Amino acid sequence: MIYLDHAATAPPSRTVLEAQWPYLTQVFANPSSAHGPGRAARAGLDAALAEIAGVLGCRPGEVVLTSGGTEADDLALLGVAAAAPRGRHVVTTAVEHPAVLETARALGAGALGEPFRVDEVGVDRDGVVDLAALAAVLTPATTVCSVMLANNEVGAVQPVREVAALCRAVGVPLHVDAVQAPGQLGVRLDDLGADLLSVSAHKLGGPRGAGALAVRGAVPLAPVIHGGGQQRGRRSGTVDVPAAVGTATALRLAEEGRAAGAPRLAALRDRLVAGVLDAVPGAVLTGPAVDARLADGSPARLPGHASFVFPGLGGEAVLLELEERGVVCSSGSACAADSDDASHVLLAMGLGDDAARTAVRLTLGPSTAPEEVDDVVRLLPEAVAAAGGAALLPA
């Protein structure tokens, strides 16, 4: 099997599993308990929080452990909106993950009483947010702004530093969904200018159902889950120490490997993109070009991300034919895999409804080998032809 769906979930890391094992088998006590076993568990938890904080560039007390990226995104928006609802106004973009968009829309529908006004700012054809349009809707009364660091469907990297400057100018807290970024982009809060930042462990070889939200101490945050007051009252419930250790280890490994790993992924991605466009001339790369740069000169596309549409051909048909040939990939967000709707990201980028249903996403990871990329390029024309896309192939 050639696995090219790292954006959905990464293969489990043996190092992460080994780090978790003692807390699953020996140091298993409740970390809130005052006895010796509880204190041992608490020590493991404190070490994990310090490790997460070290990667994200915050204090351990500013880390809230969650059940994953979705809960972290929900807590960021709902928590700020409930704690400091000034203006009852949420600003986000049209290409965010559903965890952000649906939470913002829930606020717009009155999830916290009086409805919030929600502005979903548009993007250009590459999926990059329109900064002028964003600046036009931000006001000193805006409750919170949420802009992802990198898009899960097309790999577009957002100009988060510029977004942060716009937010700072009017005193608006900025939440950054960085779930796709660790190991490929830097995720330190100060470097990005973020006030809140979400990460998820399973994108990095860590456990499923584990993630974290970093929250600057000055940002008001009301809890969404109430109970025993764990995690300084911001997220009640017995803390899952093995999950915390797994999240911390996965994040640390991703950051340690980034300097060498990101350029390697970018080279493989470029090889894949060039090969696909040569082998299937009718395919269209979605998102920024592989050599595109943001205004600050940084890459505009995730190193390990390639995404295409195949006009006139169902994307799901291509996926099935690729899987028949041993290649596993996806059509976009795994969270939308059960939906028949066209991709909201591709629609926001200006693609038509039919084209937005033909997406194929190929995402690479540390385990991806050059030979696998070459095999995918060789097998893709066969899959496209079998799916009925002969018109997309060379004459």
Q: Can you name the residues that pair with 183 across neighbouring β-strands?
A: none
CB 392 within 8 A of CB 280: yes
CB 128 within 8 A of CB 150: no
Residue with tokens 């300097």: 259
Closest by Cα among 88, 59, 75 to 233: 75
Structure tokens at 319: 């996926």
Q: How many Cβ atoms are within 10 Å of 289's Cβ, its own excluded?
A: 11
CA 118/CA 107 separation, integer angstroms: 8
Query: Among this protein's residues, is 167 annotated catalytic?
Result: no
What angle is formed at CA 120 by the lines to CA 122 and CA 177, rounded to 5 degrees?
95
Helix (H) or strand (E) holding 3: strand 2-3
What does each C-alpha distance from 75 to 72, 80, 183, 279 come to in angstroms? 5, 8, 24, 44
List, as one string, the DSSP characters of 360-395: EEEE--TT--HHHHHHHHHHHHHHHHHTT-GGGS--
Give the pairing type, strands 305-309 and 284-285: antiparallel
Q: Which one is catalytic: 58, 145, 329, 335?
A: 335
CB 223 within 8 A of CB 237: no
CB 80 within 8 A of CB 143: yes
**Residues with catalytic annotation?**
335
